[in-house]
Amino acid sequence: MGFITLTGCSSKSKDRSPDWARNTEAVSRTAAVQLMDPDAERQALQRFSDFYAVYSPEAIRAGVRSVYDENAWFGDPFRIVEGMDEIEHYFLVMAEPVKSCTFTVDSISRSGIDYFARWTMELESKAAEGEIIRTIGISHVRFNASGKVVFQQDYWDASAMLDRLPVVGYWTRLVKDRIEKGLEQ
C-alpha cells in the first residue's frame, strides 16, 4: 500500500523488484511470531487501517513507527525494503508526488499468523491533478506479539499508475491492448 508514484521513485535500497527468494526468506524468518491477544489484535488492525486511511508525508511521519516494527520487512511491486528507517524513507519518497491518496481497508481476514487486508486505493497525483486513479490490492501482513507489523507483502496492479506516465504508459497500454486483442480472437 505504500507504493505510489507517477514520476518515478528512489530509495536508498538497491533492490528494485520483487524477489521470490527474499519474500520466502522473510516469510520463514517471521514464521515463529506469536499470535496477539484479542485486544492487541483489534488495536493492531485498527492502527494499520488508520495509518493508510490518509497516505501523506505528514501521516507517514506521525504514524509509521507505531505501526511497523524496527526490523520489519516490506515488499510491493516496486521495491523490497527492510528496517524501519528504510520503510519510512520509501513511504515518504512514494508519497512525495501525491496530491492526495487514501486506502480504504475493505476487509481483513486471518489464517493462523497471517492477515490479509483487501483494500481500495484512490490516488491523485500532483502531475495529473483532477484525475483519480483507483485500484484494488491485498496486503499479506504478519504482526509481532506487540501488534507491530514485522512482514508485509503488497499485491496490486501497478499498471494502474504506470499507464498514466508519458513514455512508460504508452508501452504498458500497448501490451495490455495486444493481450486484449489476442483474447478476442
pLDDT > 90 in the chain, percent? 61
Q: Could you give the number of structural domains in the chain?
A: 1
Most confident segment among 13-22, 67-76, 129-138, 152-161: 67-76
Q: What integer pLDDT is reported at residue 176 of this predicted model?
A: 52
Domain of 135, CATH number, reads: 3.10.450.50
> For residue range 165-176, what is the model confidence (pLDDT) as tens digits?
555 555 555 665
Quick one: what percent of the chain has pLDDT higher than 70? 78
Chain centroid, CA 12 distance in Å: 17
| Residue 180 resides in a domain | no
Contact 33, 144 (CB under 8 A): yes
Residue 35 lies in a domain: yes
Report whether pLDDT(33) > 60. yes
pLDDT digits (tens, 9 = 90+) for 103-148: 999 999 999 999 999 999 999 988 778 889 899 999 999 999 999 9
Which of 96-100, 117-121, 149-153, 155-159 shows the lowest per-residue confidence on average (mean pLDDT)? 155-159
DSSP E strands, 39-82: 68-75, 80-82
45 assigned to some structural domain: yes
Domain that holds residue 148: 20-157
Cβ 138 vs Cβ 118: under 8 Å: yes
Residue 65 placed within a domain: yes
pTM over 0.85: no
> Do 147 and 36 meet the contact criterion of CB atoms below 8 Å apart?
yes
Name, in order, each residue with C-beta under 8 angstroms of 170's C-beta and a sequence gap of 6 or more.
none
Average of per-residue pLDDT values in the chain: 85
- The answer to whether residue 13 sits within a structural domain is no
Q: Is 15 exposed, middle or buried (0-12, 13-18, 19+ CB in 10 A)?
A: middle
10 lies in some domain: no
